[in-house]
Amino acid sequence: MTVITFLGAGSVVFTRELLADLLSFDELRGVTLALHDIDPERLETAEAIAHRTAEQLGAHPTILATLDRRRALQNADYVINAIQVGMHAATVRDFEIPAKYGLRQTIGDTLGVGGIFRALRTFPVLKSIADDMRELCPNALLLNYTNPMAMNVAYLAAIAPDLNTVGLCHSVYWTVHDLCELVGVPLEEVDYTGAGVNHQAWLLNWEHHGESLYPKLDALLATDEQLRRRVRMDLYARLGYFPTETSEHSSEYVPWYLHDDAEIERLRIPVGDYLRISEDNLREYARTRADVLAGKPLDLHRDATEYAPQVIHSMETGTLRRIHGNVANHGLISNLPEGYAVEVPCVVDRLGVRPERVGALPPQCAAVNRPFVSVGELTVRAALDGDPRLVRQAAMVDPNTAATLPLDRIWELCDELTAAHGDLLPEALRAS
Q: Catalytic residue numbers?
A: 170
Residues 164/140, Cβ–Cβ less than 8 Å: yes
- Known binding residue 169? Answer is yes
* Angstrom distance (rounded) from CA 326 to CA 169: 8
For residue 81, give the 3-state DSSP assignment.
Answer: strand
* Angstrom distance (rounded) from CA 1 to CA 30: 8
Alpha-carbon dihedral angle through residues 161, 158, 165, 75, given to the nearest 10 degrees: 60
For 412, counting Cβ atoms within 10 Å of its Cβ (0-12 exposed, 13-18 middle, 19+ buried), the class is middle
Neighbours of 40 (CB within 10 A): 11
- Known binding residue 199? Answer is yes
For residue 13, give the 3-state DSSP assignment.
Answer: helix
Contacting residues for 262 by C-beta, under 8 A, at least 6 apart: none
Contacting residues for 384 by C-beta, under 8 A, at least 6 apart: 155, 158, 159
* Angstrom distance (rounded) from CA 5 to CA 237: 43
Could you give the C-alpha distances from 144 to 7, 112, 155, 169, 417, in angstroms and in order? 10, 21, 12, 9, 26
Q: What are phi and psi of 38, to 5 degrees?
A: -90, -10
Residue ranges at the known binding site: 147, 169, 199
Residue ranges at the known binding site for substrate: 147
